[in-house]
Amino acid sequence: MTDLALAIAHHIAVFGLVMMLAMEAGALRADRPDASLLARLDAGYGGASLAVLAIGAARLAWGAKGWDGYAENPYFWLKMGAFLLVGIASIPPTLIFQRWRKAARASGAGGEVPASDVARMRLWVWTELALVFLVVTAAAAMARWPF
C-alpha cells in the first residue's frame, strides 16, 4: 500500500510541475507579462520540483522496488540526468522573474518587462517543457525495463 501511495503522490507532483510550467508559458504569451504572477508560478514550480524529488527519494527508500530495483536501470539514470537538466534550465527564468518582480515593486506599477527578455524566457520555459517530456519518456521506459 505504501508503494501505491508513493506512486500516486509522485505522479500528482509531476503533473503539478508540468501545470506550473504550462502556466508560465501561458503568462509569457501576454503583451505585458505580470512579473508578480510569473514569480509566484515559478515558486510553485520550484515547490512541485522539490515534491517530485522528495517523493522520488521516498520511493527509492520505501517503495516496492527499492534502490536495487532502480540502480541497474539505464532509463532511471536517463530520467535523473534529464531532471537535472530541467533544474539547470530553470535557473535563468527564476533569476529573471525575480528581477522583474523586484523592478515592478520598486516602480509601484507593473514594471516594464523588456520584450527581448520575454522572448528569451519563453524559449527557456519551452526548453524546460521539452526536457520534462524526456523525463516522462524515460520514466515510461524505466517502468518497462528490461523489455
What pTM was computed for the model?
Answer: 0.93
Report the candidate in 11, 12, 48, 42 with the shortest Cα–Cα distance to residue 25.
Answer: 42
d(CA 57, CA 131): 20
Percent with pLDDT over 90 in the chain? 88
Supply 78's cell numbers.
Answer: 536517463
- Half-sphere exposure of residue 43: CA atoms within 13 angstroms, side-chain side: 8
The predicted-structure confidence for 25-78, as pLDDT tens digits, reads as follows: 999 999 889 999 999 999 999 999 999 999 999 999 999 999 999 999 999 999
Question: Which residue range forms the structural domain that includes residue 81?
Answer: 2-144
The reported pLDDT for the residue numbered 109 is 67
For residue 146, whether the previous peptide bond is cis, meaning omega lies within 30 degrees of 0, is yes
Please count the structural domains in the chain: 1
